[in-house]
Amino acid sequence: MTEILDNLVALLSLEPIEENLFRGRSEDLGLRQLFGGQVLGQAVSAASQTVEPGRQVHSLHGYFLRPGDASLPVLYEVDPLRDGKSFSARRVTAIQKGRPIFTCAASFQAGEAGLEHQQPTMPEVPGPEGLLSETELARQVADRLPARIHDWAISAKPIEIRPVTRVNPFSPEPCAPIRYAWFRADGRLPDDPHLHRYLLAYASDFSLLNTALQPHGVSVFQRFMQVASLDHALWFHGDLRLDDWLLFAVESPWAANARGFARGHVFDRDGRLVASMAQEGLIRLREDWQ
């Protein structure tokens, strides 16, 4: 693994403090608050450490309750709701400053045979070869990046993202609420299926709400926009590897009442659907931005 990928793996590993209680470090990405993907990945990590070997997380439903502080660690309290013959259920609460900032329920299952089908099919888009990464695109406009995210935006990332759909965040024009991007970890990962799911949970918070902004010709880089995740749902459909290219296909079918809704599918290079997700978030026009 590269050093930056190793740092992300360490970020998601968590420190056991007491039975069903874990502590995670925080990472400052230059955002106004803690990156939601970090909390998602760490919550999956915490819950996974409390189930019997062989059971993998297959779904997560969570709510972002308060903005997190990227300068402080996060405590994760796991409530073991049930361990059945086939499924285990866990409730996870992320805590900072004595108050919950995120809560979720997660379900785990051991692998078993069953009926199989897949719909939708993988979109026909260009492959990742030859596409520029988000980091390379950011370096082309480095002089226009906000100071708080400048260094992070132009530096190497543990997860490389190569957009198929490119939107100018500084001068966005209205376009269809559809976005495609290839992504993978920047290095070889261990053969730990839990780890690949932690990392997908971390990456699943990228680009969802941005897609809901596209029909309106606005972006998160514009100071009059207030954008924040409200809830997040994630389903794992099968084994996956984050160190091979995956396609993130996102669409936003609705926005109103200062909220936007987006849903996405993740496909591997063979066109197999490996995960799905949905998110609703705040997309409010600030009245006091000037």
Here the contacts of 168-171 (C-beta below 8 Å, separation 24 or greater) are 169/219, 169/220, 169/221, 170/141, 170/144, 170/219, 170/221
DSSP 187: S
| Residue closest to 68 by CA, chosen among 24, 22, 32 | 32
Active site residue 45: no
Q: Taking a C-beta distance cutoff of 8 angstroms, is the pair 46, 92 a contact?
A: yes
| Residue closest to 229 by CA, chosen among 250, 253, 266, 204 | 204
| Catalytic residue of the set 48, 186, 205, 214 | 205
Active site residue 204: no
Q: Which two tokens stand for residue 230?
A: 């409200």
| Catalytic residue of the set 229, 252, 268, 276 | 229
Active site residue 229: yes
Length of the chain: 290
Query: In sequence order, which ranges of the chain are alpha helices (DSSP H)?
Result: 3-13, 36-48, 134-140, 147-154, 193-203, 208-213
Residues involved in catalysis: 205, 229, 279
